[in-house]
Amino acid sequence: MGSLADCTRIVGLGGFRVSRIEVKGDDPVGAVRVHLERRGARRYPCSGCGRRTGRVRDATVRTWRDLPWALHPVTLVYGQRRVRCRACGIRTERVEFADPKARLTRRLQHRVGLDCQSMPTSHAALRHAVSWGAARRAERRFLERWDAGRPRRRPRHLGADEIHRGQGQHFWTGLSDIVHGEVIGLAKDRTEDALTALLTTALDARQRTAVEAVCLDRHRPYLNAVTTVLPKAEVVFDTFHVLQHAAEALDEVRRHEFFRAGPVMREFGRGKRWWLLRRWRDVRGKKRQALRELFAANRRLFKAYLLREQLDRLWTYTTRPGVLRFVLGWIDALRWQRLPEMERLGDLIFRHLEGIAAYCDHPVRFGVVESLNTTIKAVLRRARGMKDEAMLVLKLKWATARPIRTARDLSRFLHLDPVESVH
């Protein structure tokens, strides 16, 4: 073994030097105990205020699990002082490499926490030879430190959406920054109170004033919450939900025209639902031909299909009068068609015209809303049964703020700077 100075350099904990090393036997996986001492003057920082003092009351030998040396598990050993601080009274000494009361060093927590983002907690625990509970605590501290060290952004566009929790009629309300594509917070339920609480607690006043638009589905309680908490922000209705209603209306027309029109027509219309609900540009070859035959057999279905296709143009206008003209034209084209399902859709669009037209002034990124929803669902699925809501939000923030798409993202993910000095 090299000199203690070499060991101090390898251990690399600023402010501490290695005073002694114990290795158990000749075993290549034998435990290593590294005894530490504080460098320089015998003055110790108070855990309350951080001020250094030389007035030591007593010391207790404590141990921390640290990163391994090759195959040797490493334990750090240090006599942690209790000091008499002028400001705080009797306090324990602050140890910079670990959190108060933690059994793992901060850099080991970091490694465990990082692993927990790409494997189940039980695997990460096994890999680092810690208990499941210790791995979960390490993960939590790691995520909290990461989140606390981030700048607080002032999002211009927010998205609020309901997220299905899986079992029964349970929902979350998710709030996200759709400019940067990050989750901001999560609340139980999908009520007005849930979103109001999220908007007031997850965002500070400075952040709230920066919000120009909020992207919503048609959920009425959310609308109320936004108008109360963010009176200056405009509501933009999500394309996705409007088009979903359009698809439902089209499907209703299909059912009406074929399934309630006797066995011959029913047989003819069978099995074509999926092609019908897809966009014309996404349907190819034989299926296109089949759709053409279907339309030839029923003009009303064809008309409904065309009307649905035209709706895409709603989000291409850059002025509100343009949107209004288009919608009026669209509703006009419905006349004499006897398509009650599409007429109901027209009503719905007309009632939400303001929210649809708001897109002209606030081109929010609908694609981001959708991809956020996908990520949220994936994280919730992996974390199924997780009771700890705060932890769930942290995991969602991590998953959305640091999406791993490129090799560069991956290297950033694996080499995120360990935060040694944050307390």
**In whole angstroms, how close is the CB of 51 to Zn ion at the nearest point?**
5
Residue 345 touching Zn ion (CB under 5 A) = no
What is the chain's Cα-based Rg? 30
* Residue 82: φ, ψ to 5°: -115, 130
Q: Which of residues 11, 18, 34, 46 is near Zn ion by CB under 5 A? A: 46
- Using the rule CB under 5 A, which residue among 4, 32, 48, 343 binds Zn ion? 48
CB atoms within 10 A of CB 186: 22
For the chain, how many helices (H) and strands (E)?
A: 18, 12
Q: Measured between alpha carbons, how far is 200 from 198 in angstroms, rounded to an integer? A: 5
Question: Counting contacts by CB under 5 A, is residue 184 touching Zn ion?
Answer: no
In the complex with Zn ion, the residue whose CB is nearer, 83 or 175, is 83
Half-sphere exposure of 213 (CA within 13 A, CB side): 22
Supply the minimum distance, in Å, between the C-beta of residue 53 and Zn ion: 8
CB of 40 to Zn ion, least distance (A): 20
Q: Applying CB under 5 A, does 253 fall inside the site for Zn ion?
A: no
Torsion, CA 304, CA 310, CA 315, CA 320, rounded to 10: -90
Compare residues 48 and 73 and give the one whose CB is closer to Zn ion.
Answer: 48
Other Cβ atoms within 10 Å of 53 Cβ, number? 19
Least CB distance to Zn ion at residue 80 (A): 15
Residues 6+ apart with CB under 8 A from 159: 174, 175, 176, 177, 178, 214, 215, 216, 238, 364, 368, 369, 372
Q: Which of 49, 90, 390, 422 binds Zn ion (CB under 5 A)?
A: 49
Only segment of 38-46, 68-76, 244-252, 287-295 that touches Zn ion (CB under 5 A): 38-46
> Which of the stretches 34-42, 44-52, 274-282, 354-362 binds Zn ion when contact is defined by CB under 5 A?
44-52
Q: Is 53 helix (H, G, I), strand (E, B) or coil?
A: strand
Q: Does 83 bind Zn ion (CB under 5 A)?
A: no
> Counting contacts by CB under 5 A, is residue 283 touching Zn ion?
no
Closest approach of Zn ion to the CB of residue 83, in Å: 8
Question: Site size for Zn ion, by CB under 5 A?
Answer: 6
In the bound state with Zn ion, the residue whose beta carbon lies nearer, of 7 and 95, is 95
- Is residue 82 involved in binding Zn ion (CB under 5 A)? no
State which residue, 85 or 135, has the beta carbon closest to Zn ion. Answer: 85
Shortest gap between Cβ of 62 and Zn ion (angstroms)?
19
The whole-angstrom separation of Cα 95 and Cα 14 is 11
Instruction: Give 48 or 418: the residue with its C-beta nearer to Zn ion.
Output: 48
Residue whose CB is less far from Zn ion, 46 or 349? 46
Give the CA count within 13 Å in the CB-facing half-sphere of 218: 15
Long-range contacts of 39-43 (CB under 8 A, 24+ apart): 39/15
Residue 90 vs 378, nearer CB to Zn ion: 90
Q: What is the dihedral of CA 240, 245, 248, 254, to 10 degrees?
A: -110
| Shortest distance (Å) from residue 47 CB to Zn ion | 7
Q: With binding defined as CB under 5 A, does residue 85 bind Zn ion?
A: yes
Residue 87 interacts with Zn ion (CB under 5 A): yes or no: yes
In this structure, what token pair is assigned to residue 265?
A: 């027509």
Least CB distance to Zn ion at residue 38 (A): 17
- The site map against Zn ion for 134-173 (x = CB under 5 A) is ----------------------------------------
Determine how β-strand 72-85 pairs with β-strand 32-38: parallel
Q: Are 113 and 141 in contact (CB under 8 A)?
A: yes
Instruction: Compute the distance between CA of residue 159 and CA of residue 364 in angstroms, rounded to an integer.
Output: 9
Interface residues with Zn ion (CB under 5 A)?
46, 48-49, 85, 87-88
